[in-house]
Amino acid sequence: MTVTDRPPDETLASLGELGVLARIFPRLPSSREQLLGPGDDAAVLRAPDGRYVVTTDMMVHGPDFRLAWSTPYELGWKAAATNLADVAAMGATPTALVVAIAAPLTTTVEALEQVADGLREACEALAPGCGVVGGDLSVSETLTFAVTAFGDLGGRDPVTRSGARPGDVVAVAGELGSAALGLSLLFTRAVDGSGIPNADLAAGLRASHPELLIAQLAPVPPIPAGVDAALGGATAMLDVSDGLSLDAARIARASGVSIALDGAALGPRIEPALTGGEDHALLATFPAKSPLPTAFRPIGRVVAGAGITVDGEPFEPRGWDPYTDWNGGAG
């Protein structure tokens, strides 16, 4: 089922905002730090640390997802997962989400219920205790999600991009390249003769390449590994959302160092690992004498200099940039 195809009787237009909210709220999880949740003009959260981490991210139909390929449940899951990963990349524990959705009036209430289910189950699976504490609904011809996530540092300093030092080990937790391969499959084998995304062709790919499609449509980032990295002495960290080489270059630039990656450590999918996005793995650097947290594996070293190298050769960082890579293709 897609959000706009074959709508049942109840749509956003027929039920109205209050009716839709009454259907969605019971499906959403509560935050363990919630003092006052949905129902007032704003939520109230505890901040045990006295500080909080906050991040926001958007998903827009067209550049970020295609309704012919993603289920509403997967959209809710991915909207949560991508924001939870940004909180984890700071070494924080996710505590709450605020979710705003702008949708066409023909969107079915059932579809938004499935989005809510995806949000709930992603929080429960990836960051237990994190919940949706509020948000907004609006109307748009383009289905759009805007999620703001909050996190608790637990008394620790945040892990930023600027702390890597020569001699540090470069390590990653999570998959690299699978999401990019899944997206490539969708764009090459799940479009019709006119280049329009096709739901039936996507269903065939789900059967033949389930792990790659899930990596792209409903990623499972290693959220607990963020706190593990902070406790393990990580000197720098970020969420690999735009491609390993591009994101590693961000650490290198912020820290004033060079990142030397080991091609063999990246495995057989070296090209999609280096240049593909949306893995939502955690890339971190650790002092050489510190044992790596269990979820992390070494993939290189921090050295003096600038930029990125792979097996000793300079590598021009490449990855996802919404302003240069989005071509307005039909969705």
CA distances from 77 to 71, 142, 219, 221, 300 (A): 10, 19, 8, 11, 31
Instruction: Give the pairing of strands 93-103 and 131-139.
Output: parallel
User: Annotated binding residue at 56?
Assistant: yes
Q: How far is residue 113's CA from residue 109's CA, in Å, rounded to a whole number?
A: 6
User: Annotated binding residue at 321?
Assistant: no
User: Annotated binding residue at 136?
Assistant: yes
User: Annotated binding residue at 325?
Assistant: no
- 92, 53 Cβ separation under 8 angstroms: yes
User: Annotated binding residue at 178?
Assistant: no
Select from 169, 161, 167, 170 the least CA-distant residue to 305. Answer: 167
Instruction: Give the pairing of strands 258-261 and 297-303.
Output: antiparallel
User: Annotated binding residue at 64?
Assistant: yes
User: Annotated binding residue at 311?
Assistant: no
Query: Which residues are documented as binding site?
Result: 41, 55-57, 64, 86, 135-136, 161, 239, 241-242, 278, 320
Query: Which residues are documented as binding site for ATP?
Result: 135-136, 161, 241
Query: Which residues are documented as binding site for Mg(2+)?
Result: 41, 55-57, 86, 136, 239, 242
Query: Which residues are documented as binding site for substrate?
Result: 64, 278, 320
